Amino acid sequence: MPARYLPCVLPIPAVGWSPDRRALRFLDQRALPEREVVCEVAHLDGVIDAIRTLAIRGAPAIGVGAAIGLAAALELDSEGHGSRARDLLPDYAARLAAARPTAVNLAWAVGRLAAAGAAVPDAQLLATLQAEAEAIRAEDAAMCAAIGAHGRGLLRDGARVLTHCNAGALATAGIGTALAPIYAAHADGVQVEVFADETRPLRQGARLTAWELSRAGIAVQVLPDGAAAALLASGRIDVVLVGADRIAANGDTANKVGTYGVALAAAAHGVPFYVAAPCSTIDLATPDGAAIIIEHRGADELGTLPHGVGAWNPAFDVTPSRLVTGYLTDRGLLSPPFDLLRA
């Protein structure tokens, strides 16, 4: 199915290049929805900080940001000398890949740049890294469009969709993953109503999903995470669409914490539950969900706690593949063991 490109729904893409192509440019998601702050960084520490603090977030956007950031940081610190850039590359790549552990797109994108660099002489290194980073960015935008085209048929006129976290334009270099079918349907004049889980503790659903959908003119309302099961039980949801940070070879899926509970409730009430992701999020080297490293974040994200009280704050959980109706990818609706990707 040919992918139709939809215009960017954001004031600027969530991640991309500065106009001179010497820096990573992004919309700072920490400031949304109150302020639209555009940042540019070229230093490695700035790129790592942007990813760690969720200024750039969402698995595909993290991969694109790391690729562009790595190319820019090496250009800056090597002062344009390919041999110096080659000396710096292994350390820079390792530090970037360690910025967040769960989204496979990060290590995948950094690994792609390292492999492209290894295949060329020093004189071509910096230009090759820049071209590879741009290819990753452009491919991500195209994969989002393809997910939208493949998933568009899931949504009839009047469809009511529940989503968790933000897997939209803010999480990618294009129109998103879980939100891509919604944008595609909306562009065709199909009415879709979205229910966005608030997504504690950092409120990506309330701050980000609701922001980007409402500015695109799509009906959206926010619910507290704890209300999702009751909403599914009420019969007011036709389909659940969520993104993914890593899909293991058996289909177990890591996504924002709370996704597993939504999947359980959807199964209990007979509501189809789709995971939408580019094929770059499917990690055939990880056999199952037990092998996925789950990022744990600080207690400070949970707000004020009584003195001396600790916190358990995993950023992601794993939804077993048995709860997933289908995997909506840029290559169509897939199912484990994803033989198409092994060819």
Q: Residues in the site for ligand MRU, rule: CB under 6 A?
A: 54, 57-60, 103, 165, 167, 171-172, 177, 204, 243-245, 255-256, 315
CB atoms within 10 A of CB 83: 11
238 annotated active-site: no
CB of 61 to ligand MRU, least distance (A): 7
Could you tell me if 99 and 286 are in contact, meaning their C-beta atoms sit under 8 angstroms apart?
Answer: no
Could you tell me if 178 and 152 are in contact, meaning their C-beta atoms sit under 8 angstroms apart?
Answer: no
Nearest residue to ligand MRU on Cβ basis:
243
- DSSP for 206-271, please give it: IIIIHHHHHHTT-EEEEE-GGGHHHHHHTT--SEEEE--SEEETTS-EEEETTHHHHHHHHHHTT-
- DSSP for 81-122, please give it: -HHHHHHHHHHHHHHHHTS-SS-HHHHHHHHHHHHHHHTS-H
Sole residue written with tokens 């209990």: 268
Q: Name which of 128 and 199 has its Cβ closer to ligand MRU.
A: 199
Of 245, 252, 283, 317, which is the active-site residue? 245
Tokens in use for 114? 């390292």
Q: Name the amino acid, one letter, at 109.
A: A
CB of 58 to ligand MRU, least distance (A): 4
Q: Name which of 42 and 202 has its Cβ closer to ligand MRU.
A: 202
Question: How would you write 282-293 as a 3-class SS string?
Answer: EECCCCCHHHCC
Closest alpha carbon to 160 in 265, 255, 235, 249: 235
Q: Name which of 89 and 247 has its Cβ closer to ligand MRU.
A: 247
CB atoms within 10 A of CB 254: 30
CB of 102 to ligand MRU, least distance (A): 8
CB of 77 to ligand MRU, least distance (A): 27
Q: Name which of 74 and 179 has its Cβ closer to ligand MRU.
A: 179
Q: Name which of 125 and 263 has its Cβ closer to ligand MRU.
A: 263
Q: Name which of 15 and 42 has its Cβ closer to ligand MRU.
A: 15
CB of 47 to ligand MRU, least distance (A): 15
CB of 177 to ligand MRU, least distance (A): 4
The three-state secondary structure class of 40 is: strand
Cα dihedral 176, 282, 323, 162 in deg (nearest 10)? -10
Catalytic residues: 245
